[in-house]
């Protein structure tokens, strides 16, 4: 079997779906057996680069600017992806949408239903695009992957005709995510300029992450002589979020780091007093799980799949209320025994999520989707 993965996000994005795609390819490769694995992407500007994963054939396609190709796909439904990327038995599209595809089986990953559940938090053009493409995508797909059982259930409820195609394949925690050594934390603090205790949140800065609620809660933590560290690339509708941080009476204690190189992430997670995520909706929720793997207790909202992912190994604040958040955070900061218990449960919980398992289950979906030729 020859499998081709649309790796555009992996070479164009450093976080989110790009990170998912890259990690998936890295862990699929060692499990391919006699199958072939191809990663294909557009390189309209001739920048080169690539994934550099052993055992993966890379197909860098020189083509017109991607926006023109997407416009052609939307209006003309041409050219088919397989004509660009080459022939394969199965194509995996890890970013919600299956483009025009003339031949081959198709698998798509639908990470969440934010365009249905919380459309106001999205860019309007992205919401319209997903809404316009989801019906055709689900009809064309031979299998639909989700990152959690929660999203699988939501997808089946929203689109009952595709329920039999939906396969939840949970994500993993990278091998580097483990409690860091003190020297690694010290080096990270020096490199990033973090010289006080800190509370941490990680994720693309956009409305769905609900960072203003954390700012309000932080303003109520007057007894905490530390910082609120916000790490994540700028996303859509970001300016009101930045303005809220700048306007805070504790603005001098709010550190916005933007994108943090992955080599610093374990120490950044592990050096925090607590990890906070007040998200309105998550398809999985990898950052709190990574924080737990690094030995930092997590405090999260009930948004989307977060309760499924963290289980009883994190504190879930059911109300989107800054006083409730401040109260729970303050209580944990003053209770070393409670933090120690959460730390132990968090490390154990995170250990159950492995990218090897994600890749193994994904290969199973691929092989189930491609019929085995009958022997004459």
pLDDT in tens, 283-295: 999 999 999 999 9
313-365 tens-digit pLDDT: 999 999 999 999 999 999 999 999 999 999 999 999 999 999 999 999 999 99
Domain shared by 124 and 219, yes or no: no
Pair (297, 346) in one structural domain:
yes
Instruction: Write down the pLDDT at residue 11.
Output: 87
Please state the rounded mean pLDDT for residues 31-43: 93
Question: 138 and 62: one domain?
Answer: yes
Domain annotation covers residue 140: yes
Same domain, 223 and 168: no
Asked if the model's pLDDT at residue 14 lies above 80, the reply is no
Mean pLDDT to the nearest integer, 54-80 = 82
pLDDT digits (tens, 9 = 90+) for 133-167: 999 999 999 999 999 999 999 999 999 999 999 99
Tell me the mean pLDDT in the region 89-111. 97
Average pLDDT rounded to a whole number, residues 2-23? 91
Please check the confidence at residue 38 and state whether its pLDDT lies above 70: yes
What is the structure's pLDDT at 61?
83
- Which whole number is the average pLDDT over 362-373? 91
Question: Can the peptide bond before residue 12 be classed as cis, meaning omega within 30 degrees of 0?
Answer: no
* pLDDT digit string, tens, across residues 224-239: 999 999 999 999 999 9
Give the mean model confidence (pLDDT) for residues 299-305: 98
> Within this chain, do residues 53 and 110 fall inside the same structural domain, yes or no?
yes
Span 102-142, pLDDT tens digits: 999 999 999 999 999 999 999 999 999 999 999 999 999 99
CATH of the domain at 363: 3.40.50.2000
Domain count, the chain: 2
Q: Residues 75-85: what's their mean pLDDT?
A: 88
113: in domain: yes
Lowest mean pLDDT among 57-61, 244-248, 273-277, 372-376: 372-376
User: What is the signed CA dihedral for 265, 270, 275, 279, rounded to 10 degrees?
Assistant: 20
Structural domain containing residue 308: 182-350
Domain contains 70 = yes
Q: Does residue 154 belong to any structural domain of this protein?
A: yes
Q: What pLDDT was estimated at residue 48? A: 59
pLDDT-based confidence at residue 13 (cuts at 50, 70, 90)? confident
Please state the three-class secondary structure of the chain as a single string: CEEEEECHHHHHCCCCHHHHHHHHHHHHHHHCCCCEEEEEEECCCCCCCCCCCCCCEEEEECCCCHHHHHHHHHHHCCCCHHHHHCCCCEEEECCCCCCCCCCCEEEEECCCCHHHHCHHHCCHHHHHHHHHHHHHHHHHCCEEEECCHHHHHHHHHHCHHHHHHEEECCCCECCCCCCCCHHHHHHHHHHHCCCCCEEEEECCECHHHCHHHHHHHHHCCCCCCCEEEEECCECCCCHHHHHHHHHCCCHHHEEEEECCCHHHHHHHHHHCCEEEECCCCCCCCHHHHHHHHCCCCEEECCCCCHHHHHCCCCEECCCCCHHHHHHHHHHHHCCHHHHHHHHHHHHHHHCCCEHHHHHHHHHHHHHHHCCCCCCC
With 60 as the cut, is the pLDDT of residue 376 above it?
no
Of 258, 266, 255, the residue nearest 229 (C-alpha): 255
User: What is the CA 259 to chain-centroid distance, rounded?
Assistant: 14
Identify the pLDDT of residue 77. 84
| Predicted confidence (pLDDT) at residue 374 exceeds the cutoff of 90 | no
- The answer to whether 162 and 251 have CB atoms below 8 angstroms apart is no
Residue 267 and residue 139 share a domain? no
Is 374 part of any domain?
no
Assess if residue 177 is contained within a domain: no
Which pLDDT score, from 0 to 100, does residue 42 have?
Answer: 84
pLDDT for the residue numbered 336? 96
Q: Is the pLDDT of residue 375 over 80?
A: no
Q: What is the reported pLDDT for 373?
A: 66
Query: Please, what's the b/e burial string for 336-358 (b: 16 or more CB within 10 A of its CB; e: otherwise)?
Result: eeebeebbebbbebbeebbbeeb
Tell me what pLDDT residue 68 has: 78
Q: Which of 44-58, 175-189, 314-328 has the lowest mean pLDDT?
A: 44-58
């Amino acid at each position: 079997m020859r499998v081709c993965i649309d790796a555009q996000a992996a070479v164009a994005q450093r976080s989110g779906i790009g990170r998912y795609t890259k990690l998936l390819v890295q862990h699929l490769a060692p499990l391919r057996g006699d199958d072939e694995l191809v990663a294909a992407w557009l390189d309209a500007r001739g920048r080169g680069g690539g994934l550099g994963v052993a055992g993966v054939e890379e197909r860098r396609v020189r083509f017109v600017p991607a926006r023109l190709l997407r416009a052609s796909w939307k209006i003309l439904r041409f050219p088919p992806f397989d004509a660009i990327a080459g022939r394969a038995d199965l194509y995996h599209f890890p970013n919600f949408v299956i483009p025009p595809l003339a031949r081959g089986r198709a698998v798509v990953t639908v990470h969440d239903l934010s365009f249905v559940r919380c459309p106001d938090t999205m860019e309007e053009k992205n919401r319209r695009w997903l809404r316009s493409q989801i019906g055709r995508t689900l009809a064309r797909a031979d299998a639909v992957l989700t990152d959690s059982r929660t999203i699988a259930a939501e997808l089946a409820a929203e689109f009952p005709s595709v329920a039999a195609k939906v396969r939840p394949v949970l994500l993993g925690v990278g091998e580097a995510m483990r409690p860091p050594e003190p020297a690694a934390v010290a080096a990270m603090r020096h490199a990033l300029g973090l010289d006080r205790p800190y509370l941490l949140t990680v994720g693309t800065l956009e409305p769905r992450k609900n960072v203003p609620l954390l700012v309000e809660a932080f303003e109520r933590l007057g007894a905490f002589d530390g910082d609120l560290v916000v790490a994540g690339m700028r996303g859509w509708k970001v300016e009101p979020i930045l303005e809220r941080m700048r306007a805070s009476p504790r603005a001098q204690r709010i550190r916005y780091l933007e994108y943090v190189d992955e080599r610093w992430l374990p120490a950044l997670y592990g050096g925090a007093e607590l990890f906070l995520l007040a998200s309105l909706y998550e398809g999985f929720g990898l950052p709190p799980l990574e924080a737990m793997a690094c030995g930092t207790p997590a405090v999260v909202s009930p948004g989307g799949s977060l309760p499924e992912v963290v289980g009883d190994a994190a504190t879930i604040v059911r109300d989107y209320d800054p006083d409730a958040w401040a109260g729970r955070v303050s209580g944990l900061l003053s209770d070393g025994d409670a933090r120690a218990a959460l730390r132990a449960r968090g490390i154990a919980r995170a250990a159950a999520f492995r990218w090897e398992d994600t890749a193994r289950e994904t290969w199973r979906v691929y092989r189930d989707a491609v019929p085995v030729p009958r022997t004459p």
